[in-house]
């Protein structure tokens, strides 16, 4: 099994440390959200961690996806004809999923194995974002994977940001009323009520390494109950079941 990942940086799914757009094994610095993902996979029908298999997780950067789009544009392939349902706000998510789905198929063919593709992007930027924008972004990701004809594409779209999922477990009353965080927090890091600031006020170390240690030692994924997390978890389970 291959798990193809694309995130936004070291404090979510991770990063390549080889100055390349794609990596795996020792060239992939695993992020805290990959540890969370791996825990979910381990608790599924697999029963073991894919981190024990260096080539199981493969990372594709945002830059690599953008480069693929640019290459298609130079070849005059209609990448940007995304239709009326995908405006400026959601077209980015659609195209990212489309490109990642295509890359996942290429990895499957090269490895003669089956893949699951996980696309991480933070959800709403601010509390004032228009109603339904999170759902629009989620649907755009799903439709992008379908455009690539890749059925095991999984959106990982925390609302408003991944820090909200972690804050569910870190706050003074852990795992209680966590769904409220999705609407109470801001995804704008400059906001005094930002998810990132709230988590930083509780945890002593919110660097990538600090969050990884905390996820490994303190996070109980079975107790997180938030709409955006549950949606991701259900989509992941469906993808794994189809293998």
State CA 221 to chain mean position distance: 16
Q: How far is CA 61 from CA 68, 131, 234, in A?
A: 11, 29, 24
- Rounded to whole angstroms, the Cα distance separating 146 from 135 reads 17
- Rounded to whole angstroms, the Cα distance separating 110 from 132 reads 39
Supply the pLDDT for residue 90. 86
Supply the pLDDT for residue 73. 84
pLDDT (tens, 9 = 90+) of the chain, 243 residues, equals: 999 999 999 999 999 999 999 999 999 999 999 999 999 999 987 789 999 998 999 999 999 999 999 998 888 765 555 544 555 568 899 999 999 999 999 999 999 999 999 999 998 765 555 668 899 999 999 999 999 999 999 999 999 999 999 999 999 999 999 999 999 998 888 888 899 999 999 999 999 999 999 999 999 999 999 999 999 999 999 999 999
Give 218's contacts (C-beta < 8 A, 6+ positions apart). Answer: 169, 170
**Nearest-10 Cα torsion for 64, 230, 222, 206:** 50
Give me the residue label for tokens 């990884």.
212
187: tokens are 């995804």
- Rounded to whole angstroms, the Cα distance separating 213 from 225 reads 22
* 83 φψ region: left (φ > 0), alpha (ψ -120 to 50), beta (else): left
Supply the pLDDT for residue 178. 98
Q: What are phi and psi of 38, to 5 degrees?
A: -60, -35
Supply the pLDDT for residue 65. 97
Give this prediction's pTM: 0.94
């Amino acid at each position: 099994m291959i798990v193809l990942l694309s995130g936004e940086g070291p404090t979510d799914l991770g990063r390549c440390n080889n100055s390349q757009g794609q990596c795996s094994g020792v060239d992939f610095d695993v992020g805290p959200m990959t540890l969370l993902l791996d825990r979910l996979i381990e608790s599924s029908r697999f029963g073991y961690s894919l981190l024990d298999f260096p080539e199981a997780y493969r990372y594709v950067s945002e830059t690599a996806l953008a480069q693929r789009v640019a290459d298609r544009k130079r070849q005059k392939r209609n990448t940007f004809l995304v239709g009326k349902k995908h405006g400026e706000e959601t077209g980015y998510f659609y195209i990212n999923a489309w490109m990642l789905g295509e890359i996942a198929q290429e990895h499957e063919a090269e490895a003669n194995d089956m893949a699951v593709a996980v696309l991480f992007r933070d959800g709403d930027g601010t509390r004032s974002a228009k109603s339904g924008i999170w759902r629009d972004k989620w649907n755009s990701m799903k439709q992008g994977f379908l455009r690539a004809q890749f059925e095991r594409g999984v959106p990982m779209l925390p609302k408003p940001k991944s820090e909200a999922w972690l804050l569910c477990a870190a706050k003074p009353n852990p795992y209680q009323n966590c769904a409220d965080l999705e609407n109470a927090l801001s995804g704008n890091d400059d906001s005094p009520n930002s998810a990132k600031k709230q988590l930083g006020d509780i945890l002593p170390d919110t660097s990538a390494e600090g969050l990884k240690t905390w996820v490994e030692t303190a996070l109980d994924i079975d107790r997180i109950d938030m709409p955006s997390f549950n949606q991701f978890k259900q989509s992941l389970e469906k993808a794994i079941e189809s293998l």
